[in-house]
Amino acid sequence: MCTNTESIPNISSPDHLEKRSCICYTHPAMSHLAHIQKHKPSLDLRWEILRATREFFWSEGFQEVETPIILRLPGQEPYLSPMKIGIHDEQKRGYTGYLHTSPEYAMKKMLAAGYEKIFSICKTFRDYESFGGTHNPEFTMIEWYRTGVDFWTIMDDCERLLSFIDTSLTNKKIPHAALPLQNPERLHMRDAWQRYAGVNLDDYLERDTMFALCKKKGYTPDEGEPFDDLFFRIFLNEIEPHLGKEHLTLLHHYPLSMAALSKQSADDPRYAERCEMYLGGLELSNGFTELTDADEQLGRLQEEQAFRKKMGKEVYDIDMEFIEALRSMPPASGIALGMDRLVQLFGGCQNIDGVLVLPASKLFDT
């Protein structure tokens, strides 16, 4: 489905690919046209996957919603960089805004206002992302929420969504990659570390013990390196590449320090009710049993502000409307899933550029 070669489309014959000298499309407009024609099969698959995704959520009784893309106050995630923009009103007064990195805050405000089952498929923006591979500064995300359930139900949604898409493509006889969607696995983070890194994560949930483990394994961490960075040194190298290879894998229960906007586990307070879905070693989604304790959430955001400042990153004011909304928000769970990566997997594409109409590498190619 996905053409990962560097062959250049014959512009006069869109349905035929032939190798040509690069001089044939050095003009920017021709480069754009060539990219679209070359990847048309993957793009057609993309539209079918988007259609099937909507059909799944409509059949489940979800309402599709829209939220603002331009925000006055972005989130505080330490490792994300919102894109700053300037806007003006009719009196030429200037304002600073940010393109959202996720519709999460706005959708949770909707839950607090009475919505119960909602989803949004939207463009999302993050600065300082790579141009290609599995990243693009502008990408498509689906985010959905259910009230009255925990993250186990969201995991059910994930498994059934991918099965629904696969069946839809098969029934329409649309060529797509055969993915290991049968017998999905739900794997506790602690068990993943035991299986692939050979250690009991329970023994390394503090910064000093994780630092010592990294040193023992031959990594060279900095003396002041925080727990999360130390954690990911091992996780990204020894664990993540194995996830989702034989089965669709839902990795759950992250260390509490990595809870983000998720609720502390009722079963083990050292962990948070956070889950991520993996297929073929690629992370597709990040979901939570949502934290609804407004005061605890405010404290977490203040900690993230301090961490951003320590890293030399821009620090933003906290969205107090979001904090106040949490005081009215019912118990809920939600998840965000990267649609571009999902299309990559179904299309067998190694590079995200092959599933985008015009990726950043083409738009800003000099």
**74-85 pLDDT, tens digit each:** 988 998 999 999
Quote the percentage of the chain above a pLDDT of 90.
88
- Distance, CA of 137 to CA of 361 (rounded, Å): 10
Domain membership of residue 61 (yes or no) is yes
User: Would you state the structure tokens that stand for residue 75, as one six-digit string?
Assistant: 């989130």
Domain count, the chain: 2
163 and 43 belong to one structural domain:
yes
**3 state DSSP class of 64:** strand
23 and 48 belong to one structural domain:
no
Domain membership of residue 238 (yes or no) is no
User: Please, which pLDDT band fits residue 2 given cuts at 50, 70 and 90?
Assistant: confident
Q: Contact, 54 vs 46, CB < 8 A?
A: no
Lowest-confidence segment of 192-196, 198-202, 216-220, 311-315 by average pLDDT: 311-315
User: Would you state the structure tokens that stand for residue 137, as one six-digit string?
Assistant: 């500064």
User: Would you state the structure tokens that stand for residue 289, as one six-digit string?
Assistant: 């049993």
255 and 279 belong to one structural domain:
yes
105 and 14 belong to one structural domain:
no
Asked if pLDDT for residue 5 goes beyond 50, the answer is no
Q: What is the CATH number of the domain that holds 337?
A: 3.30.930.10
83 and 3 belong to one structural domain:
no
Q: Contact, 56 vs 39, CB < 8 A?
A: no
Torsion 115-119-121-122 (CA) sign: positive
7 and 136 belong to one structural domain:
no
User: Would you state the structure tokens that stand for residue 278, as one six-digit string?
Assistant: 């993996």
Q: In sequence order, what are the residues at sequence separation of 6 or more whose Cβ sits closer than 8 angstroms to the Cβ of residue 194?
A: 200, 201
Torsion 335-338-343-349 (CA) sign: negative
Sheet with 117-125, strands from edge to edge, namely: 63-64, 117-125, 138-147, 332-338, 282-289, 271-279, 249-255, 185-188
The reported pLDDT for the residue numbered 365 is 75
CA Rg, the chain, in Å?
A: 22
Domain membership of residue 200 (yes or no) is no
17 and 101 belong to one structural domain:
no
Asked if pLDDT for residue 136 goes beyond 90, the answer is yes
Domain membership of residue 315 (yes or no) is yes
33 and 131 belong to one structural domain:
no
316 and 264 belong to one structural domain:
yes
User: Please, which pLDDT band fits residue 17 given cuts at 50, 70 and 90?
Assistant: very low
330 and 268 belong to one structural domain:
yes
Domain membership of residue 176 (yes or no) is yes
Mean pLDDT, the chain, as a whole number? 92
User: Please, which pLDDT band fits residue 330 given cuts at 50, 70 and 90?
Assistant: very high
User: Please, which pLDDT band fits residue 303 given cuts at 50, 70 and 90?
Assistant: very high
Domain membership of residue 211 (yes or no) is no
146 and 274 belong to one structural domain:
yes
The reported pLDDT for the residue numbered 29 is 59
117 and 148 belong to one structural domain:
yes
Domain membership of residue 268 (yes or no) is yes
* Domain ranges, residue 32: 1-38
- State pLDDT tens for residues 344-357: 999 999 999 999 99
Q: Could you tell me the CA-to-CA distances from 324 to 31, 113, 305, 318, 360 in Å, in that order?
A: 49, 11, 18, 11, 37
Q: Could you tell me the CA-to-CA distances from 300 to 105, 206, 217, 257, 318 in Å, in that order?
A: 15, 18, 31, 10, 11
The torsion angles phi and psi of 129, rounded to 5 degrees, stand at -95, 155
Asked if pLDDT for residue 64 goes beyond 80, the answer is yes
What's 12's DSSP letter?
T
**3 state DSSP class of 246:** coil
Q: Contact, 102 vs 126, CB < 8 A?
A: no
Domain membership of residue 232 (yes or no) is no
- Distance, CA of 122 to CA of 275 (rounded, Å): 21
